Copies of this chain bind each other. A is one copy, B any other.
């Protein structure tokens, strides 16, 4: 299986300067991840291992600069407990159906439907069928990147 390609940028000198600044910050601050955010990335999904969060929930994601794109696989009956985050979320159900408890309402998102969740809005979800879900976040979920996401790992 091929590895995701982190393609070195041949951008403008302005971009390079920006990138260099970012790399310098990353040295003092955070992760290898941060150091590659400014680069062009070509990533087939099949090169990213599916992470088992619990027996009903798997996940993989790619992280750009300010965008995280996640592919989330939920088996029927999987419950994502109520939680909230400062990251804006756009959920697009590619296959299956997710029921959300959000903003005092119950909303079922079927295949071909989108839910835009503003920052800090608490939400809970349940897979009504086996579901393939795309989640877009801005900024990227630091708790997912660091695997500090115990709320997803508790289900038996």
With A11-B120, A118-B15, A120-B12 in contact, is A109–B65 under 8 Å at CB? no
With A92-B69, A114-B62, A138-B138 in contact, is A40–B121 under 8 Å at CB? yes
Copies of this protein, total: 2
> Which of the 9-residue segments A24-32, A97-105, A144-152 touches chain B?
A97-105
With A46-B112, A65-B88 in contact, is A11–B103 under 8 Å at CB? yes
Contact B9 A121 (CB under 8 A): yes
Contact B90 A64 (CB under 8 A): yes
A36: nearest chain-B partner, CB-CB: B116
| Chain B nearest CB, measured from A121 CB (Å) | 6
The A contact surface, by secondary structure, is strand
A20 at interface by CB-CB < 8 Å: no
Instruction: Please measure, in the bound complex, the distance between the C-alpha atom of A115 and the C-alpha atom of B116, giving whole angstroms.
Output: 22
Contact A9 B103 (CB under 8 A): yes
A77-110 interface bits toward B, Cβ cutoff 8 Å, 1 = contact, 0 = none: 0000000000010101010000000111101011
Instruction: Please measure, in the bound complex, the distance between the C-alpha atom of A46 and the C-alpha atom of B65, giving whole angstroms.
Output: 30
Contact B88 A64 (CB under 8 A): yes
Contact B64 A15 (CB under 8 A): no
List residues of A (42-60) whose CB comes within 8 Å of B's CBs: 42-46
3 nearest A-B pairs in the assembled complex, by CB-CB distance: A41-B116, A64-B116, A44-B113
